[in-house]
Amino acid sequence: MILPRFLYLSVCFSGLSRYLQVLLRVRSFQKKNWTVPTVFESYVKAHPNKIAFIFEGREWTFKEIDDFSNRVAHAFEEAGFLPGDTVALLLDNRPEYVAIWIGLAKAGLVTALINSNLRDKPLIHCIQIAECKAVIYGADFCEAFVAVRDQLAPSVKQYAFDFKKDASIPFGSLNLDTLMGEASTSPLSGPQRANYNDKMLYIYTSGTTGLPKAVSGGAVKFSFIKNAHILLIPMMSDDIVYDPLPLYHTAGGMVGAGQVLLFGCTAVLRKKFSASAFWKEAIQHQCTVAQYIGETCRYLLAAEARPDDKNHKVRLMFGNGLRPQIWEEFVNRFSSPTNRVQIAEFYGATEGNANIINFDGTVGAVGFVSMIAPSVYPVALIKVTEDGEPIRGEDGLCIRCKPGEPGMFVGMILKNHPIRDFHGYADPNATKKKVAVDVFKRGDAAFLSGDILEMDELGYLFFKDRTGDTFRWRGENVSTSEVEAVISNEAALKDCCVYGVEVPGAEGRAGMAAILDPERALDLNDLHTKMSKVLPSYARPLFIRIVNVIDLTGTYKLRKVDYQKEGIDVTKIKDQVYFFEASSQSYVPFTSALLEQLKSGKIRV
């Protein structure tokens, strides 16, 4: 891409100016010790009757959300919880979800936002790793929670929420609705319970070591992410945002809900994304901004064309994962002559200290770093091995990638900086693995994203691939070692390796498991039944490859590189491959004919 010099300078200075605005705003929050509840309460005072959330036909005003959150704060403080204690939240998308964790934050408590798809061991792990003193679970998750609660410490309190009047609450659980009904709607008296630098949330991300990791997030991270999105892309406080993404993730819960909490916007929430309802509801609620992940864009494009495609008021869509191959097609399909949709693609890890955004709509780019003053926002690409290990030069330092060279995206760490510090995970050992030292000079440190990006000569960054043992499918990060452990346990401790493979017409990478079974004794459908009890649907392998031997590396690690290169190309694979057929809910032999049907779109996954 070649830009005229004056235009390129304009983009650079615009990016630098907006970034400095973000930094100043974040520093202002820090100086005033404003937490997320503090900022939210300022909007409650400014416009109490403005609509904060719209959900399933009901409108929630800022005052209603504030009153609800105050009841939560009183209920938990009166129960004896102390600032810094952690409470797990297992609930589906709804305004109360946000109001609950805001209320807990008002009491100085930390909320662990549990992925509502988790069951069994992963669910227990997420509650325990964050050292939760209590669990709030919705009626829809009663069965899942009750199945594991005996494995929790007896001291962990249990709160049941939103049970119908005639529904019986499990013995040992407290009725949160009743407790809140008895609580005051007034703010907590006395001093502020939490400070700007304190923890506020745990959001979970899958890594390379197995089970999900709890990422610490306070007002620091929350305010940076939200200020960055608002100031780097053209959003206004009177925007109505369509947010159909999970509230337990950074995208839906911080980026989406944050529009309401930190900027006074209105957000339309949905329990689950629906391609058929997306534009219909955006029109119904007169949304001006919408949120996406790459998979949702593909679903919207795949849907049958209809007038609603262009009759909406959405002028801006922000998110991550929109494939460059469908970028322009997507914009053209859903733009009208009077309303061209702008795409604001962003990139950043939940736990990371380096988030970037494409604020000018350059096709395919996930972000931009000014080449005029690159040190202002110190991120870089470094050369790494296939396993994601930094490659170092003769001086022992990392090697910076040149324009056009793919490398791992890293963010330089600066302790106590409102943006560049790295707060890591609840598990200190997991934190250490994401930090490299002596990167560009002795004594410095950087956050390792684990993702491969490429930068052009102008400073635009493009996503290429992931390293390590994680892949993304259905908008979720999948830990291969976690899936491997489940398969091995359920398949008589057979060796296996799990990896992500590209599927024609699909976003991300689907799971494929190479299982050692030379005797062909494994019942794949029985294995699927067992996996279904432990793994969420997005983590279960779509493909299974039965192998006679599994290669090991020189350090006795499972070698996945060759398997990944062959992908699902049955013309190259000598082993028998099976495909999970949705219609029959069973694994069937994967043939060249099925591969062609995937390529042609006759079969969708």
pLDDT at 209: 46
pLDDT at 505: 84
Measured CA to CA, the distance from residue 108 to residue 192 in angstroms comes to 8
Query: Percentage of residues in the chain with pLDDT exceeding 90?
Result: 62
Average pLDDT, the chain: 89
Query: Is 271 a residue whose pLDDT tops 70?
Result: yes
Query: Is 423 a residue whose pLDDT tops 80?
Result: no
Measured CA to CA, the distance from residue 497 to residue 483 in angstroms comes to 9
**Among 160, 167, 165, CA closest to 144:** 160
DSSP string, 387-401: TSPBPB-TTSSB-BP
**What are the tens digits of pLDDT across the range 226-249?**
555 555 566 788 999 999 999 999
Query: Is 272 a residue whose pLDDT tops 90?
Result: yes
Lowest pLDDT segment from 53-57, 119-123, 209-213: 209-213
Using pLDDT thresholds of 50, 70 and 90, give the confidence band for residue 65.
very high
Mean pLDDT over 412-426 rounds to 80
Q: Any idea where the domains of the chain sit in the sequence? A: 33-48+61-187+196-226, 359-466, 470-600
Query: Is 503 a residue whose pLDDT tops 70?
Result: yes
**Which residues make beta-bridge pairs with 367?**
461
Query: Is 552 a residue whose pLDDT tops 60?
Result: no
pTM: 0.85
Query: Is 554 a residue whose pLDDT tops 80?
Result: no
**What are the tens digits of pLDDT across the range 76-96?**
999 999 999 999 999 999 999
Both tokens assigned to 348: 């950043």
**Among 141, 114, 134, CA closest to 125:** 114
- Are the beta carbons of 425 and 215 closer than 8 angstroms? yes
Mean pLDDT over 98-104 rounds to 98
Tokens 């609950």 — which residue?
100
- Are the beta carbons of 276 and 244 closer than 8 angstroms? no
Query: Is 468 a residue whose pLDDT tops 80?
Result: no
| 120 DSSP 8-state letter | H
Mean pLDDT over 538-565 rounds to 77
Using pLDDT thresholds of 50, 70 and 90, give the confidence band for residue 149.
very high
Both tokens assigned to 280: 């219909």
- Are the beta carbons of 151 and 241 closer than 8 angstroms? no
Pick the CATH number of 33-48+61-187+196-226 from 1.10.8.60, 3.40.50.10260, 3.40.50.980, 3.90.226.10: 3.40.50.980
Using pLDDT thresholds of 50, 70 and 90, give the confidence band for residue 11.
low
User: Which CATH superfamily does the domain covering 359-466 fall into?
Assistant: Luciferase; Domain 3 (2.30.38.10)
**What are the tens digits of pLDDT across the range 371-383?**
766 667 789 999 9
Mean pLDDT over 192-219 rounds to 79
Using pLDDT thresholds of 50, 70 and 90, give the confidence band for residue 100.
very high
Query: Is 506 a residue whose pLDDT tops 80?
Result: yes
Query: Is 277 a residue whose pLDDT tops 70?
Result: yes
Query: Is 462 a residue whose pLDDT tops 90?
Result: yes
pLDDT at 2: 53
Lowest pLDDT segment from 266-270, 385-389, 464-468: 464-468
**Among 75, 68, 69, CA closest to 174:** 75
- E strands, 438-494, are 445-455, 460-466, 470-473, 476-479
Both tokens assigned to 585: 């809910």
Tokens 């994601």 — which residue?
388
| 603 DSSP 8-state letter | S
Lowest pLDDT segment from 261-275, 331-345, 375-389: 375-389
pLDDT at 176: 97
Query: Is 3 a residue whose pLDDT tops 80?
Result: no
**What is the CATH number that goes with domain 470-600?**
3.30.300.30
Query: Is 256 a residue whose pLDDT tops 60?
Result: yes
Using pLDDT thresholds of 50, 70 and 90, give the confidence band for residue 255.
confident
Lowest pLDDT segment from 287-301, 479-493, 507-521, 560-574: 479-493
| 257 vs 550: which has the higher pLDDT | 257
pLDDT at 208: 43
Tokens 């509801």 — which residue?
281
Using pLDDT thresholds of 50, 70 and 90, give the confidence band for residue 418.
low
